Amino acid sequence: MQFRVAPENEAQANGVFATTRWSIVRGAGMASDAGELALQELCRLYWFPVYALVRARGVHAEQAKDVTQDFFVKLIERRIVEKACPERGRFRHFLGTAVKHFLTDEWHKAQTIKRGGGIEFVALDDEDAERRWVTTSSTCTPDEAFDRNWALQILAEANRRMEQEMGETGQEEILRVLQQGADPHAPSLAEESARLGMGINTLKSRLHRSRARHAQIIREVVAETVSTPAEVESELRELLAIVSHDWKASR
């Protein structure tokens, strides 16, 4: 799916800043069921960028999952999340700095580490985690690896929300055509319109609206990690530069 950024006024008009990732961060610090759910959400979204940063900073593969999980546990136990606030910068920067401090101050001083804390991460086995790390991080500095995997996670979350939304509105076929992108082997729009039983202009119009909605969702996901419209613009430019660099390098 193509990476397109919705215009700033379009995002603001749709209430992008109504709920931000900062509210989840603060909620994760509460000793309650809501706090546990908020922590689960943080882990689901940012497990792999943290794992990749841990690996890139020299932790062996067989330990990296334990270190990553222990980081999220300590994030709450030591009330580190209470130090996070929108006024101190982007959530991406906060989390990356917190991981590096954890590795320096906690992990490397520990004699034994136990997996636990009652947190269930997304299903990601050791082999898959290591494959993803080698693919996305092994040729980067630790900070570059974190930013690259953060950008990929932002896009993955936007795609997940887009797929869920399109599925709930019965637009799975439109999404399928949209996801084909510029694949030279994909059926033409004329062929797709005939197969779907709709006029080609109607199909083009629905694809246009879907692309615009996907761009808006990307902006919404980014907006959840910052606190101002200006920061959204800056963060989007950085993430777009990362994704564009990877795309060019792969060609």
Which range is least confidently modeled, 85-89, 130-134, 180-184?
85-89
Rounded (10°) angle between helices 33-56 and 91-105: 70
Phi, psi dihedrals of residue 118, rounded to the nearest 5°? 75, 15
Q: What is the pLDDT of residue 15?
A: 38
Model confidence at 92, pLDDT cuts 50, 70, 90, reads confident
pLDDT, the chain, mean:
75
131 vs 173, residue with greater confidence = 173
* pLDDT value of residue 90: 77
8 A C-beta contact, residue 39 and residue 105: no
Could you tell me the pLDDT band of residue 204, with boundaries at 50, 70 and 90?
very high
Q: How confident is the model at residue 212 (pLDDT cuts 50, 70, 90)?
A: very high
* 214 vs 128, more confident: 214
List, for residues 168-181, the tens digit of each pLDDT value.
999 999 999 999 87
Contact 132, 50 (CB under 8 A): no
* Per-residue model confidence (pLDDT) at position 112: 45
* 8 A C-beta contact, residue 103 and residue 59: yes
Top-confidence residue, 208 or 17: 208
**Stretch 95-122: mean pLDDT, rounded?**
65
Provide the H-helix boundaries in 110-180: 126-137, 142-168, 172-180
Q: How many CA atoms lie within 13 A of 130 on its CB side?
A: 9
Model pLDDT, residue 197 = 94
Average pLDDT over residues 76-101: 70
Q: Which two tokens stand for residue 134?
A: 């080698």
Confidence category of residue 166, pLDDT binned at 50, 70, 90: very high
Q: Kindly report, residue by residue over 147-162, the tens digit of the pLDDT.
A: 888 898 899 999 999 9
Overall pTM surpassing 0.85 (yes/no): no
Q: In this structure, which long-range contacts are made by residues 102-108, counting pairs with CB atoms below 8 Å and at least 24 apart in sequence?
A: 102/71, 102/74, 103/54, 103/57, 103/59, 103/67, 106/70, 106/74, 107/59, 107/67, 107/70, 107/71
Express each pLDDT in 13-67 by its tens digit.
333 333 445 556 655 555 566 666 766 777 778 888 888 888 888 888 878 888 8
Q: Which of 201, 188, 164, 161 is nearest to 16 (CA)?
A: 161
What is the b/e burial string over 124-136, where b = at least 16 CB atoms within 10 angstroms of the residue's CB? eeeeebbebbeeb
For residues 238 and 212, the model is more confident at 212
CB 51 within 8 A of CB 133: yes
